[in-house]
Structures are given as structure tokens and as C-alpha cells.
Amino acid sequence: MIVNPNMTGAGSKALDNHDEPWDLALTRRADAQSLVAIGREGRLTRQGPGGSVRVDLTTVDETVLAIVDLALERGRDVALVYPAPAGQVSALLAGEILLRRFIQGKPSQSVGIVTSDTTDAARTWEELGIAALGSRTRVSEVFPSLRALPNGESPLGRRPFKGALIGRRFVDWPVDVVVVDHLSGPVEASPRVPTIHVFADPLDPELRRLADQGHLIWGWSESDLAALVEAETSAPSTVPFSVAADRLAVIANGIKTTVHVARDARTETIIRRLRDDLRTAGDLAGPSPDFVVLKGLRVAWHHVSTLTSLPCRPSEFDRFAGLPPMAARATRTFEPEIAAWATTLARIHRTGPVDRLTTPGRAVASRRRPRTRSVPAGSCAGAARKSAPRRHGPAGADFFPS
């Protein structure tokens, strides 16, 4: 956690208790009209597939609101480094700020959102609502959203307005507060009004620039999160403000993995022979193999590595093939791919003292062999086995799944 000591002052007495995390001290000092209090009341809602649901705050979110409150009170900029990508937190944070200014009766109620994903920010803004006793009102009905011009200027020029202005570039917008979202991509913004920067990458070079300019930078380590989210759970029928409580708990506590080694002598023999075959084929290809040969060998080694690393049967692994976030390939495609590659190899034959692995249109010399033998096309692995001093049964057909 990196802080700017200049941010302390009137609220420093609340932070003198060294036995209490700063996060809890900041949220404890919040008054009835603070962003934390407004957030806890659950006034901000979001329209989902099943209707309007309340936005749920974690301790991390309450800390963010308390820090933003303090920074805006002092007229300072702040950079927040979330422990994980935080979704549409910039629009939600802007909504909380406008809601607070509305409750406080501030004459100027405008906020800017600088993000590379302006479409998603505008859609999120339209989904936000304000819950009151017996009614729900869309935020956009009270605070309409505007889109900045392609050059980054406000469509209203310097004329004041009420609502949110969304764009990828900031060029002197007539707003009171700016939220700069660094989560979705690069943006261009150097506002002269109080600014909240939102990050999720602690190594972002922009953080160093902001730190050199004296900005407050606030983040969380695993130990910080462990002290905050130990007993925290997501409330039912809610959407997270930023990072869901269960995900924060996983980040804080980590994941315990137990690996059990399963030994199978027959499988180990097949794998050893298959690797031996691939090394022999690489020897036959020579130091400067044809691109087709080189590519095929690399793919074959990749498939062997994948199959030997699976924590389950290939058929079970294939059930999840193509699914996000990894979208891994199905292992059942490995054998047809290698078979198709083998058909591009015309033959392996020996011409005198030098072996040549040929492909259509090009011959590549490999190491010298004392014997000469012709092998039918498409049997690269088998030919490599017969020509090498290593002698054993076929492996590839037994190993690759059908």
C-alpha cells in the first residue's frame, strides 16, 4: 500500500490507531452524507436480466468510497489499484459521486468518465438506477449521459451541464470530477479538476508518473485483503460494485492444490518411446530443416507435452475444449493434425552416405547414415525408428487418443 503523507491532516487522528487497518479507520470516520454511507444504504441499483438489483459493496469498495470522499474534500487526485479487474467500476463510482452531490444539494452536478470502452460505459450508465422509498428512478433520467466528440472535446463546448460526459480523450471538459478508467485500454487525459484514476495492474507505468507528481496511490496486498475479507460474502440478489467478495477471498487466501502422482508403467514406456521417435525425426531433419518439417515437429512436441500434462483423461479434458477463458483445443484433434502433416512428407530415403528427408519441392540433408532404405510416404515416425539404432515397438498410435 503506497500513500501520500500529504493526504493526512484533519482525519489523521482517526488513523492513529495502529492496531486497526487504515481501511477500517477510513470507513469508520465516514459521516451520514459520505459516499460510504450512501453506498451502504443501497440507493444505487443496476438493471439486470431479472430486473433491478442493488449494488453490493465489499470492504474494499467502502474503502475506495472513503478515499475518494477524502480526496474530493481536499481537492486532490487519487489513483486506486484494484486487486483484480473491476468491471464497470468507473461508471458505478461516477454514479455514486453524482448521487452524493445531488443529496448534498451541490449546484454543479457533473462528472466525466474517460475510458477506451465508451460503449460499455454508456450502456452501464443507462442500467444504473436510484432507489427511493417505493420507487426506482433511472440515473440517466436525472443525470443524462453525453458522448465526447472524436477530438475529445465536449459537445456542449464550455457550457455547464448536469450529468455524465463519456469519452476516450479528455479535452477541457466542463465537469467537477473526472474518473479515468485504465482497465479497458489506453486513454488520454490530463484534467485540471479532481481526478480519480482506476487501475488493476500494479506495474502500469502510468502509476510511476502519477507517483512522481505527488498523487495518492492506494492498493492492497494479499495480507491487507486477508484482514478485510476473511468473513465477507456476497449478499444475495445483488451485483458487485467492483470485485465480487468471493473473488477477493480467493485472492486473499489463495488456492490450495494437492498433486497426486499416478504411475503407470505401460503409459510411461509409450511416452518414452514417442519422445525417442520425435528426437530421431529431428535428427533426420538436419540442422536446417524445411519449414513444413520443422513446424510439424514443433506441433508434435507440443501435443506430447499437453497430453503428458493433463490432470485427467483426455476424453474428460475434451469436454471443456473451446470454453473460455483458455479455450483450449480438444486432444482428439491432435492425431488427425499429425496425420495430415505426415501426408505432406513425400518420403524418407537415403542417397549414398547422406540421409535426406524430402518434402514436395525441397530436400533437406541430415546426419550421415551407413545404410540406404526407402520407406513409403506418410510414415515418417516409423522410418525414423527403423533407421535409428533405437529399436522398439510403435508408440504414436497407442498414445494419441482416437
Q: Check whether residue 38 and residue 73 sit in a common domain.
A: yes
Mean pLDDT value of segment 150-167 = 92
Residue 259 lies in a domain: no
Give 64-91 pLDDT, tens digit per residue.
Answer: 888 888 888 888 899 999 888 776 888 8
Kindly report whether the global pTM for this prediction surpasses the value 0.85. Answer: no
Q: Check whether residue 248 and residue 269 sit in a common domain.
A: no
Give the chain's mean pLDDT.
76
Q: Check whether residue 95 and residue 233 sit in a common domain.
A: yes
Residue 365 lies in a domain: yes
Residue 38 lies in a domain: yes
Residue 105 has pLDDT above 70, yes or no: yes
In 69-142, where do the E strands start and end?
78-81, 110-114, 128-132, 135-138
Q: Check whether residue 379 and residue 301 sit in a common domain.
A: yes
Q: Check whether residue 122 and residue 197 sit in a common domain.
A: yes
Q: Check whether residue 246 and residue 348 sit in a common domain.
A: no
What pLDDT score was predicted for residue 348? 44
333: helix, strand or coil: helix
Q: Check whether residue 248 and residue 270 sit in a common domain.
A: no
* Contact indicator for 89, 39 with CB cutoff of 8 Å: no
Domain-terminating residue out of 199, 229, 253: 253
Give 10-53 pLDDT, tens digit per residue.
Answer: 333 344 555 667 777 777 777 766 778 777 777 788 887 777 78
Percent of the chain having pLDDT more than 70?
Answer: 77
Residue 258 lies in a domain: no
Residue 368 lies in a domain: yes
Q: From the CA atom positions of the chain, what is the Rg in Å?
A: 31
Residue 195: which domain range? 5-253
Residue 260 lies in a domain: no
CATH number of the domain where residue 168 is located: 3.40.50
Mean pLDDT value of segment 278-305 = 89
Residue 123 lies in a domain: yes
Tell me how far apart the alpha carbons of residues 265 and 257 are, in angstroms, rounded to a whole number. Answer: 25
Q: Which residues pair with 55 in a beta bridge?
A: 239
What pLDDT score was predicted for residue 230? 64
Q: Check whether residue 231 and residue 365 sit in a common domain.
A: no
Domain-terminating residue out of 190, 220, 253: 253
Task: Name the domain count of the chain.
Answer: 2
What pLDDT score was predicted for residue 386? 41
Give the pairing type, strands 216-219 and 78-81.
parallel
Q: Check whether residue 229 and residue 288 sit in a common domain.
A: no
Contacts of 245 (CB under 8 A, 6+ apart): 56, 58, 229, 232, 233, 234
What dihedral do alpha carbons 276, 279, 280, 282 form, nearest 10°?
A: 160
> Higher confidence at residue 60 or residue 6?
60
> Higher confidence at residue 141 or residue 16?
141
